[in-house]
């Protein structure tokens, strides 16, 4: 009985979430219910719950997590300052003469928004509202248009500075230290959010490059599916066009460079860089005359809601993980992974597959706070690189969020897509991008240096 309770608890949480209950309360409520049942049956020691106040205090005093509200503030401010709209309009005119140029514009803007906001849902919805009607009006294949928007919108998972990378980096840092202590290393190495940011740069740019190559391939083999914008609709001469492009592109590029550059250069921690991004986003909004008290109030309310959701989930996950460990769930998972055929490869493959499937019903935040603390120390004790593991998890879940029928990005786009876009169009459109994601996952598994090379250069000193 005691052996199956941890797995049963996990299954009950998934069931409660599928019924539509809030994530944070589902995690904490299920855990406390099982703790009460286990205590009544003599299978759970309530002393484990005495560690909860210390855990909550640790969350409240964690300096790394301060980056979360700052990056959320930065992203929401840029969203309200019409940066995305201006970028899309300008890039569409700039790449308009090319077949597939509008798709290229959407991909590039999606990359810039990912680096500016790091919020997947907001990026997909914004791109869907702004670019999908335009692409359909220009006679783009509906499936190509939908697939391009979904894929570019999920780049916020992997391109830093990303909120999910901040959360994943913090959890992996704890898991890495625990793994080393379990191995008898009492002066453990550390891994930081900055390490994960740097490690994710090359894979993120590789994904963008392959997306663009796919659109270029379509322009050659299926030119009617990605037509160019007619010359009559490109009114600006080349000089005025490049001047406009510079004015629109330069501010967000400078903001991204300031945030990432301060981290890469060792001038600031991710939390300090997030504050630079928040102030820079306000200056950018003010320069575009989009910053006023009403806008600031909306940004603050939105930031508070998102931040509250993240920290409530983190608290609920802390309760869940305590009870899970109290039932011996971590030892059960360790035994299952150790007994798998194929050693480290088999364990990693099973964990990636389970996380991929969980991505259909759980958001990245829940998986980061619930699943990674359980499997992270076990995998890292197998001598896996923590930065590589973090990037593999991020790309894997990005793929899950694109995969029918339950991918989150598909639901986000379906919610804002016009009636002429069918669910089948969205599914067909994302299929090539899913294949690209799988290829990149395979490349990262085969060549871990794609992730570890840049951190090794940046932090060589």
What does the pLDDT look like over 293-325, one tens digit per residue? 888 898 899 889 888 888 888 888 888 888 888
Q: Judge whether residue 229 has pLDDT over 80.
A: no
What does the pLDDT look like over 66-91, one tens digit per residue? 888 888 888 788 777 777 777 777 77
Q: Judge whether residue 1 has pLDDT over 70.
A: no
What does the pLDDT look like over 241-299, one tens digit per residue? 777 777 888 888 888 888 888 887 778 888 888 898 889 888 888 887 778 888 889 88
Q: Judge whether residue 405 has pLDDT over 80.
A: no
pLDDT of residue 75: 79
* pTM of the predicted model as reported, rounded to 2 decimal places: 0.87
Nearest to 260 by CA among 454, 59, 47: 454
The one-character DSSP state at 362 is S
Q: Judge whether residue 335 has pLDDT over 60.
A: yes
Q: How far apart are CA 65 and CA 200, in angstroms?
A: 19
Q: How far apart are CA 208 and CA 203, in angstroms?
A: 9
Percent of the chain whose pLDDT exceeds 90: 19
Radius of gyration for the alpha carbons in the chain, expressed in angstroms and rounded: 23
Q: Do residues 199 and 172 make contact, with C-beta atoms less than 8 angstroms apart?
A: no
Q: How far apart are CA 126 and CA 346, in angstroms?
A: 39
Domain with 310 in it: 5-458
What total number of domains does the chain contain? 1
């Amino acid at each position: 009985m005691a052996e199956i309770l941890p797995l049963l608890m996990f299954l009950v949480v998934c069931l409660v979430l599928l019924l539509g209950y809030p994530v944070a309360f589902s995690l904490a409520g299920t855990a406390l219910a099982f703790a009460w049942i286990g205590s009544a049956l003599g299978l759970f020691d309530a002393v484990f719950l005495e560690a909860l106040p210390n855990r909550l205090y640790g969350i409240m005093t964690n300096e790394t997590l301060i980056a979360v509200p700052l990056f959320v503030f930065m992203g929401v401010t840029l969203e309200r300052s019409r940066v995305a709209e201006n970028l899309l309009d300008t890039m569409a005119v700039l790449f308009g003469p090319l077949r597939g140029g509008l798709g290229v514009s959407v991909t590039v803007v999606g990359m810039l928004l990912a680096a500016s906001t790091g919020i997947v849902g907001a990026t997909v919805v914004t791109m869907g509202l702004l670019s999908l009607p335009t692409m359909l009006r220009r006679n783009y294949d509906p499936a190509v248009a939908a697939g391009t928007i979904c894929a570019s919108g999920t780049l916020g998972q992997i391109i830093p500075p990303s909120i999910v990378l901040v959360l994943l980096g913090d959890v992996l840092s704890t898991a890495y230290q625990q793994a080393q202590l379990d191995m008898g290393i009492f002066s453990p190495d550390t891994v930081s959010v900055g390490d994960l940011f740097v490690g994710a740069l090359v894979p993120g740019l590789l994904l963008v490059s392959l997306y663009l190559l796919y659109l270029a391939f379509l322009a050659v083999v299926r030119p009617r599916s990605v037509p160019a914008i007619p010359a009559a609709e490109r009114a600006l001469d080349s000089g005025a066009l490049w001047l406009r492009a510079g004015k629109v592109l330069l501010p967000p590029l400078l903001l991204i460079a300031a945030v990432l550059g301060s981290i890469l250069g060792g001038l600031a921690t991710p939390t300090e860089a997030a504050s630079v991004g928040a102030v820079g986003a306000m200056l950018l909004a003010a320069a575009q005359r989009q910053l006023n008290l009403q806008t600031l109030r909306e940004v603050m309310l939105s930031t508070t809601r998102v931040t509250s959701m993240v920290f409530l989930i983190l608290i609920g996950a802390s309760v869940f993980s305590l009870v899970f460990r109290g039932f011996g769930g971590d030892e059960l998972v360790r035994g299952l992974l150790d007994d798998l055929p194929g050693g480290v490869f088999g364990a990693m493959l099973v964990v990636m597959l389970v996380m991929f499937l969980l991505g259909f019903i759980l958001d990245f935040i829940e998986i980061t706070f619930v699943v990674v603390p359980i499997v992270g120390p076990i995998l890292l004790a197998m001598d896996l690189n923590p930065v590589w593991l973090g990037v593999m998890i991020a790309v894997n879940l990005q793929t899950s969020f694109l995969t029918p029928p339950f991918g989150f990005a598909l639901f986000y786009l379906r919610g804002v897509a016009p009636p002429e876009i069918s669910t089948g169009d969205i599914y067909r459109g994302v299929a090539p991008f899913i294949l690209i994601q799988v290829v990149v996952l395979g490349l990262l598994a085969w060549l871990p240096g794609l992730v570890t090379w840049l951190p090794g250069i940046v932090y060589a000193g």
